[in-house]
C-alpha cells in the first residue's frame, strides 16, 4: 500500500511533534501485516482501488486521532484548572491592597473564555471520536474481507463488492457524523438514517473483475 515508500506515513516534521510521529509509526507497524496482505490480493482491481480509496482514508483518519485527542485533554484540563483558579485569585485580590491579583484574575478569566470558545467551535472531542470510530471501522472492514478469503475468483466476487460497499458506507457515515457532531449541520434524508443508496455514497465502486 506504500508504493515502495520506506514508511507508511509521510514525514510530518512540519506538522506534528516528535512523540506524535512515534505514535504514528507505532500504528504503521501494527497495520503493516494488514497492508501487506491487501497488496498481495490476486485481484489487481481491488488492490488498485484499495490504494486509491481505502488506504488514504485509513491514513487520514489515523492522523486525526492523536492531535485531536491531545487538544481535547489540553483544552478540558485548562478549562477545569482555570475555572478553579479564578475564584482563588479573586479572593486573594480582595485580601491584598495590590492590583496584581486583579490582573491575574482577568487574564485567567480571558484564557478560560478562549478555551471554552475553542472547544465549542473546533470541537476536538467529537473530532477525536469520529476519527477513531472511522479508522477502526475501516481496519475491521479490511480484516473481515481478508480473513475468510480463498483466492478463487468465483468465491471472491461477492466479498469484493461487499468490501468496497462497506468502505464507501463507512466514509459516508464519517461525513455524516462530521456534519452532525462537528459542523452542527443537518444531513440530507437517507444519509442520516444509514439508508444511503449506492448512487448517493461518495466515491465509485469499480468492477472488481475489471482488468
For residues 104 and 16, give the distance between their C-alpha atoms in angstroms, rounded to a whole number.
Answer: 32
More confident residue, 20 or 25: 25
Residue 4 burial (C-beta neighbours within 10 Å; 0-12, 13-18, 19+): exposed
Tell me the whole-structure pTM to 2 decimals. 0.72
Domain annotation covers residue 30? no
For the chain, give the longest Cα–Cα distance.
86
Query: What CA–CA distances, in Å, run from 19 to 15, 59, 67, 70, 151?
Result: 12, 17, 11, 12, 40
In this predicted structure, what is the pLDDT of residue 105?
86
| Owning domain of residue 81 | 41-182
Domain annotation covers residue 24? no
Domain annotation covers residue 163? yes
Across the chain, mean pLDDT equals 77
Domain annotation covers residue 126? yes
Q: Which of 42-46, 53-57, 102-106, 185-189 has the highest mean pLDDT?
A: 53-57
Domain annotation covers residue 34? no
51-74 pLDDT per residue, tens? 999 999 998 898 889 889 999 999
How many structural domains is the chain composed of?
A: 1
103-118 pLDDT per residue, tens? 888 889 999 999 999 9
Task: Provide the grid cell at 19.
Answer: 512523540
**Quick one: what percent of the chain has pLDDT higher than 90?**
30
Q: Is residue 4 pLDDT above 60, yes or no? A: no
E strand or H helix that includes residue 47: helix 44-49
Residue for cell digits 482563588?
A: 88
Question: Is there a contact between 90 and 105 (Cβ–Cβ < 8 Å)?
Answer: yes
Domain annotation covers residue 26? no
In this predicted structure, what is the pLDDT of residue 81?
93
Question: Is there a contact between 198 and 165 (Cβ–Cβ < 8 Å)?
Answer: yes
Domain annotation covers residue 145? yes
Query: What CA–CA distances, in Å, run from 191 to 42, 64, 132, 133?
Result: 33, 23, 20, 17
Span of 5-14, 64-73, 83-92, 153-162 with lowest mean pLDDT: 5-14
Question: Is there a contact between 124 and 75 (Cβ–Cβ < 8 Å)?
Answer: yes
Amino acid at each position: 500500500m506504500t508504493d515502495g515508500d520506506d514508511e507508511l506515513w509521510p514525514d510530518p516534521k512540519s506538522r506534528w511533534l516528535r512523540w506524535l510521529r512515534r505514535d504514528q509509526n507505532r500504528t504503521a507497524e501494527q497495520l503493516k501485516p494488514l497492508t501487506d496482505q491487501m497488496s498481495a490480493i490476486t485481484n489487481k482491481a481491488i488492490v488498485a482501488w484499495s490504494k486509491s480509496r481505502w488506504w488514504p482514508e485509513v491514513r487520514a483518519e489515523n492522523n486525526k486521532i492523536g492531535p485531536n485527542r491531545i487538544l481535547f485533554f489540553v483544552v478540558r484540563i485548562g478549562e477545569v484548572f482555570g475555572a478553579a483558579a479564578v475564584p482563588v485569585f479573586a479572593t486573594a485580590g480582595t485580601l491584598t491592597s495590590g492590583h496584581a491579583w486583579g490582573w491575574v484574575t482577568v487574564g485567567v478569566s480571558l484564557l478560560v473564555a478562549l478555551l471554552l470558545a475553542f472547544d465549542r467551535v473546533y470541537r476536538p472531542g467529537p473530532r477525536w471520536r469520529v476519527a477513531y470510530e472511522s479508522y477502526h471501522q475501516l481496519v475491521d472492514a479490511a480484516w473481515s474481507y481478508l480473513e475468510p478469503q480463498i483466492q478463487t475468483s468465483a468465491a471472491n466476487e461477492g466479498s469484493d463488492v461487499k468490501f468496497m460497499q462497506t468502505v464507501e458506507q463507512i466514509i459516508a457515515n464519517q461525513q455524516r457524523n462530521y456534519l452532525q457532531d462537528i459542523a452542527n449541520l443537518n444531513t440530507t434524508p437517507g444519509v442520516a438514517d444509514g439508508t444511503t443508496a449506492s448512487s448517493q455514497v461518495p466515491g465509485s465502486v469499480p468492477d472488481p473483475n475489471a482488468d
